[in-house]
Amino acid sequence: MEIVAELTPILYREKLLARLDALTRYVEKVDIPEAPGGKPSAHSIAVGALAKQLGIEPIVHIRLLDINMTAYKSLLGGAYLLDIKYVVVLQGDPPAEGRPVGEISTEEAVAVAKKMGFKAGALLSLRRDYKQRLKIGADFYLALHLREAEQLADLPPVIYPYILVKTEKNFDLFERLGQTAVSPREALELVRKLEGLAPGVVLSVPRDFQTLLGLLQEVKIRP
């Protein structure tokens, strides 16, 4: 089973490169959100380009709420030139600055990305009618709100669940967002139970990169 690490964009190039370099010891892919919480930061495609330079395959997110179709196709064009292969399209949280556009549906965005040759992904909430969501035609799905491995038992092997890990450094964030999160010990147990049920998982530990590295090391050394 593939382990993917989530890396939140930051504006400090050397720190970002150091984190990417540390991740090269544990993962082959990195999941890069765009403007988490609607707050502007370095674009996921720019971070993805740095990841490619270090030999890590990026999965870049593109927020649809902020852009029209022209802007979307231009972003895809930039990703194409940088040899980025995986994109995840999502509406995203309301923007912290400026007005939402909301012109493009997720289904439309998936179709356009696939036509351009990308592996196109979308988000999926395991709290909702997620089987209906599978009909939008994405190549893969990143799933939120996983509680137990059995939720994936009857689903096709195209779903990569997020394992969101809560620590003292991010507990307040998960409380505010209402996201399903687990302790580091529970995260390792979930990884073990998901073997054979999912093609991979995305490990996410916002605000606590050292805990993320520790979990990746634990996963790697396990038989």
Beta strands in 14-67 (DSSP E): 29-32, 57-63
Q: Spell out the residues 6+ positions from residue 50 whose beta carbon is closer than 8 angstroms to its own.
A: 13, 16, 17, 20
Quick one: pLDDT band at residue 223, thresholds 50, 70, 90? low
Q: Cα(9)–Cα(117) distance, rounded to whole angstroms?
A: 25
Calculate mean pLDDT across residues 99-106. 96
CATH number at residue 211: 3.20.20.220
How many folded domains does the chain comprise?
1
**Tens digits of residue pLDDT in 122-167:** 999 998 878 788 999 999 999 999 989 999 988 899 999 999 999 9
Q: Spell out the residues 6+ positions from residue 23 whose beta carbon is closer than 8 angstroms to its own.
A: 5, 7, 30, 56, 213, 216
pLDDT tops 80 at residue 13: yes
Strand partners, 47: none
Look at residues 85, 141, 88 and name the one whose alpha carbon lies nearest to residue 118: 85
Quick one: pLDDT band at residue 222, thresholds 50, 70, 90? low
Whether 16 contacts 214, CB under 8 Å = no
**Tens digits of residue pLDDT in 159-200:** 999 999 999 999 999 888 888 899 999 999 999 999 999 999
Q: Would you call 164 exposed, middle or buried from its count of C-beta atoms within 10 A (0-12, 13-18, 19+)?
A: buried
For residue 82 the two structure tokens come to: 């940088």
Calculate mean pLDDT across residues 1-22. 97
For residue 186 the two structure tokens come to: 């529970």
Domain that holds residue 110: 2-221
